[in-house]
Structure 1
Amino acid sequence: MRRFVSLLLVFCLLLGGLAAYSGSVHAADKSVKVKDLAGRIVKFKSVPKRVVVLGSGDLNTLQALGISVVGRPTTNVPVARSLKRIPEVGNIHQPNFEKIVSLKPDVIIASKSFQSYLKKTESLKLKVVLTSGDSVDDIRQSIILLGNLFGKSSKAKALVSGIDKKIKTYSKSKTKVRALIVFGAGVTSLAALPNSYAGDVLKKAGGENVAAQFPKIKEYPGYASLSSERIIQSDPDVIFIIAHGNQAQVKKEFMKLLSTSAWKNLRAVKNNRVVFLPNSLFAANPGVNVGKALEYMNKELRKVKVK
């Protein structure tokens, strides 16, 4: 009996020792592995501390998650006062690699458009995690990705939950408002299709896209050429405009376009239903602020009374 009790005690001690060993291994293992929005597996020995970000939307998300950055994107979009002291490092189309390298980042956060620079970053031994802002769902996934990368998964899920609630609410509204989204600068503009970011926001905010059947442009599959003939035939209830470039100049060019014979008889123009959307929410991926974009779009749709 004594021998049995002794063996039992030894067994319990072994179990306790194994449990303690398992816990210590887990605590010591601080490595991080994520699958980014380009399907790439990126590994880190620990949670990245020095972060460079090349897009305003991802910067918004990082701020919401409580992540500090050592390098921020060069952009015309206003930034918080607390970020103005952070060095600018260019953007996904024109990254300043000299500046980026000097900041010694543990990771660069950029959208999938940055993929053409991956060989360059590999040669510089820089790690990159790619996000996406091509749709509301892409932005949701990007928030979760960044939450996992920086050990903020619970916070990320809470942020996505807030976005999902707005999607559920606005999608039910079905305003039946027929809208055209124009992106660009006057005559050189494009019509946003449902599979573009802005087009997806319109759909999820309860609107109908008159350009849904317009033929897409091969180089830009989320957009169609701005055909006056097709626009006249579709006769939208409201026209949303996203300015590209100098907003004051672009607005001037658009107003000139809307005064032409081809556009001035559209019901949206005659009823003064032409809305210039804020660039910070619609010109590109706004990150966690996509919830504000949905809210803004739904509010504008509800202003339009369709008989």
Structure 2
Amino acid sequence: MRKLFSYVLSLCLLVGLFAFNGGTAEAATGLTIKDLAGRTVTFDRTPKRVVVLSPGDLHTLQALGVQVVGRPTSATPVDASLQSVPQVGNIHQPNFEKIVSLQPDVVIAGTSFLGHIQKAQSLGLKVVITSGSSVNDIKSSITLLGKLFNKAQKAKVLVGKIDSKVKKYSKTKTKVRAVILFGSGASSLVALPTSFSGDVLAKAGGENIAASFSQLKDYPGYANLSTERIIASNPDVIFIITHANHAETKKAMIKLMSTSSWRNLKAVKNKNVIFLPSELFAASPGVKITNALDHMNKELLKVRAKMKK
């Protein structure tokens, strides 16, 4: 009888520990993950105090139900639940003093943060790198964060929604020939199919006229603006992604389109010069990639409808 009582007591304690740890044994065994930069990062337990440096990852963490103690600095309005969360800079200009003061268990950042990794580690910060260079990268990042925060099932559902959207648009070949400009005026870059926005264009049913342009070494996924090649290709639509000061950038792009080299293009004459929302296209929007796909497909179908008239 005594042995039976001891066995039952031990079983109850084990079940209690399992429940306390949210259904995993990670508190006892720890957690080791490989991030999207190929780095191995180990944790004693699921991170609780989370700092995030990009809006896309913030959207993903919100969708997974993960609370943050630090969020990226941004002029874009955020949900009411996040307004009191301290801003900590971004992946290009992190506020390390602020980040350290928040005592995070983990800092979530995109690949552009890799140049700051050494400093972050010298400050005792654990960093997990995500990526948003393509739709598949975003899916991998969601899966990674799901594993890190013990939200694997939620992550699987979110990835499934993206897969469903991609499958839906894979049947849509609009035959609309497009170019995507990123930047301001004549100093803009052209998005290649290997860029995030170029990948969205392809998966939403469009054709990228810059597929054969040469990639820049310092800006993977982008090429220099070649007015001559764009004129020769004569796209049906020109998509523009602005950055920094939106009003000034838009003004510069409109001025460029009014020059003799550009104004005779089909896209300009037919008023198919479209400014894409920065929050969806300037960088990875995380789980809101489904919104980006919807938006791009909708614009492509509008252009195709005008072409048929």
TM-score when normalising by structure 1: 0.91
Q: Is the Cα–Cα contact under 8 Å of residues 232 and 266 in structure 1 kept in the other structure? A: yes
**Which deviates more from structure 2 when the two are superposed, residues 262-271 or residues 32-41?**
32-41
Give matches, 1:12-161, under 5 Å: 27=25, 29=28, 31-161=30-160
Give matches, 1:196-235, under 5 Å: 196-235=195-234
Aligned to 2:265: 266
Superposed CA offset, 1:190-234 (max 9, x none): 110000000000000010001111111121121111111001001
Superposed CA offset, 1:255-286 (max 9, x none): 11000000000000000001100000000010
Q: Is the Cα–Cα contact under 8 Å of residues 30 and 47 in structure 1 kept in the other structure? A: no
**Which deviates more from structure 2 when the two are superposed, residues 238-247 or residues 73-82?**
73-82
Superposed CA offset, 1:92-124 (max 9, x none): 111111101100000000011111111112111
Secondary structure at the aligned position of 1:68 is classed as: coil
Superposed CA offset, 1:141-194 (max 9, x none): 000100110010100110010011010111110111000100001111011000
Secondary structure at the aligned position of 1:61 is classed as: helix
Superposed CA offset, 1:13-57 (max 9, x none): 9x9999999877974626222111011111111110000000000
Aligned to 2:171: 172
Q: Is the Cα–Cα contact under 8 Å of residues 193 and 199 in structure 1 kept in the other structure? A: yes
Secondary structure at the aligned position of 2:144 is classed as: helix
Amino acid at match of 2:301: R
Q: Distance in 2 between matches of 1:224 and 1:194?
A: 11
Q: Distance in 1 between matches of 2:8 and 2:197?
A: 57
Amino acid at match of 1:226: L
How far has the Cα of 1:78 moved from its partner?
2.3
Q: Distance in 2 between matches of 1:90 and 1:61?
A: 18
Gap regions ≥5 residues in structure 1: 1-9
Gap regions ≥5 residues in structure 2: 19-23
TM-score when normalising by structure 2: 0.91
From the CA coordinates, give the structure whose radius of gyration is larger: 1
How far has the Cα of 1:91 moved from its partner?
0.7
How large is the Cα RMSD of the aligned pairs? Answer: 2.2
Secondary structure at the aligned position of 2:73 is classed as: coil
Q: Distance in 1 between matches of 2:112 and 2:11?
A: 46
Secondary structure at the aligned position of 2:297 is classed as: helix
Aligned to 2:245: 246
Q: Distance in 1 between matches of 2:171 and 2:9?
A: 56
Amino acid at match of 1:188: S
